[in-house]
Amino acid sequence: MDKMIAGKTISVTEEGFMTDFTQWDKTIADAIAAENSITLTSRHWEVLDYIQTEYKNEVPLSIRKIGKSGVVDIKEFYQLFPMAPLKTATKIAGIPKKVSCI
């Protein structure tokens, strides 16, 4: 389905995950973050950059992997993206919901 985010028409799933990464830009990230009551800081961006890089390299993401990335530990990951951090962070990063969940 389509949704207006930051004044642009964006293709998303029912849960709000973007389905086309080429539509993503930083204003969209800010808008999705705001929907989740998050204001993005430089710390958030370091984590989002890491997540996007891993996604581009087709590395499956997990909370464990992010905790061991050296970018952020799990405690801080939760502080930055409360409740379900991996879900929220990937949503803001414009990455499709991970499908390799088994």
Partner 1 sequence: MKRIVIIGAGTGGTMMAQHLGKELDRKEWSLSIVDERKEHYYQPGFLFLPFDQYKPEDIVKPISEFIPKGVDFVNIKFEKIMPDDRQVILANGNTLIYDILIIATGSEIAPEETEGMGGSEWGKSVFTFYTFEGAKALRDKLKTWPGGKMVVHITEMPIKCPVAPLEFAFQADSFFKDKGMRDKVDITYVTPLSGAFTKPKATATLEYLLKEKNITIESDFAIESVDNEHKTINDYGGKAVPFDILVTVPTNKGSMLIERSGLGDELNFIPTDKTTLQSKKYPDIFVIGDATNVPTSKAGSVVHFEAEILTENILSYIKGQKMEGEFDGHANCFIETGGGKALLIDFNYDHEPVTGTFPIAGVGPLRLLKESRFNHWGKLAFKWVYWNMLLKARPIPFVSARMNVAGKNYN
- The footprint of partner 1 (CB under 8 A) covers 60, 62-65, 68, 74-75, 77-78, 82-85, 87, 100-102
User: Closest CB to partner 1 among 26 and 65?
Assistant: 65
User: Closest CB to partner 1 among 27 and 79?
Assistant: 79
For 20, phi and psi rounded to 5 degrees? -130, 105
User: Closest CB to partner 1 among 17 and 30?
Assistant: 17
14/83 Cα distance (integer angstroms): 19
For 27, phi and psi rounded to 5 degrees? -70, -35
**Least spacing, CB of residue 4 vs partner 1, in Å:** 25
List 11's β-bridge partners, or say none: 2
Those residues whose C-beta lies under 8 Å from the C-beta of residue 3, and which sit 6 or more positions away, are 9, 10, 11, 12, 16
For 11, phi and psi rounded to 5 degrees? -85, 120
**Least spacing, CB of residue 75 vs partner 1, in Å:** 6
- 101 an active-site residue? yes
Residues annotated catalytic, as ranges? 101
